[in-house]
Amino acid sequence: MLHVEALEKSYADFRLDNISFDLPEGYIMGLIGPNGSGKTTTIKAILNMTEREGGKITVFGKDNIASEQEIKKDIGAVFDSSSFVDEWTMADVEKAYTLFYPAWDSEKYWSLLSRFRIGKTKKVKELSKGMQMKLMLACAFSYDARLLILDEPTSGLDPVSRDELLDILCEYIEDGRRSVLFSTHITPDLEKIADYITYIHLGQLIFTGTKEDFADSFRVVRGDRKELAKLLFAHREEFGTTLFLPVMQFIRFFTGDFQQQFFTLLSGKNEDKEIQLEAIRYFRRYPYEPVREILQNYVRYQEYIDWEYAAMAASALASYPGEDTVFCLKEGLKAANWYVRLNCAEALIYGLGISRLRLFDVENGRDRYAREIIRYVLEKEQIRQQEMKEGQVNV
């Protein structure tokens, strides 16, 4: 039904790396992970709403890009916010869908609205979030979608509405020819309806398989967090990169006592790239003076290394104030890579608090790249400050 193989996608400070899983016909898969882990990016890549940088995705045995139009006739996509115009009536919704789905079943649509207790004369804006979710499902069912893809469908719903929605999804796959992929962070949802689990953590695939195997693969550990961090780090050779990254992230969230160990990881010539990028994140949170020169060199010599090192190092330098850092970041504004330039500009303005006056030489300098990115971030900061002043932003 759905095959994802070695999916990759990069942003300025995030990378979805080597994500692979299979959803068979007639089953429900829960896509889980904390906020920012890559669930929505994965879903958007499946729907070709964002361009993947690597990997392969097939739906119904066909490439999701080459056969996009054909495939999407049989996919129902439901996000956590309504895609309808607020002023639309239920008849307007049907009219819009019939333009794109030749297999639309009008009788089924109105029958589902009655079943879901959605008033036929209601406008979209008059429906609660739960009712809007049911409306989107009614539409997907009315053109007989074979694959439902839902992004946080139960988020914000009351318990009764959530249970009802889960029951609807279970009924949907009963004939054995339909499947559901849904992202969630609500554990009871998984326990109730998921057959398979795919767990993504900060862009890394941690697990994919049956719900039962997932439950059997974890154990509860109790104890002092710092002692646990020491124990896990001491056994790092027993972990592959995929498993050791969450250990590093756990350490980053709870303790700054591993600076020397993370320095060794960052300095290692043969160390895995993702391990070293996570070490840079650690040193942004816990500044360590011996790392300053390494971070600055990543920015200075960015044309000779992977751009992700330079971009991550630029962000981390926000925690290393000094004229040497300011000079380094100003030079980084001339980088060929847009993400490196953006992170250098944000580190100068947001991280180090460098004033517009001190950036006059850049804003009015000869380098077009540097001028444009510094003006972009300065204008963004000016808008933010104005909104704060007017009380439009919670601070």
Give the tens place of pLDDT for each residue, 9-28: 887 778 888 899 999 999 99
| Residue 393 scores a pLDDT above 50 | no
CA quadruple 385, 391, 393, 395: dihedral sign: positive
Q: What is the largest CA-CA distance in the chain?
A: 71
Q: What are phi and psi of 341, to 5 degrees?
A: -60, -45
DSSP helix/strand/coil, 146: coil
- Judge whether residue 386 has pLDDT over 80: no
Q: What whole-number percentage of the chain has pLDDT above 90?
A: 37
Is pLDDT of 394 > 50? no
What pLDDT does 279 receive? 95
The CA distance from 36 to 51, in Å, is 18
Stated pTM of the model: 0.58
If you average pLDDT over every residue of the chain, what do you get?
87
- Report pLDDT for 59: 93
Mean pLDDT of 170-197: 85
Q: What is the average per-residue pLDDT within 385-395?
A: 59
Token pair of 77, please?
A: 């996509």
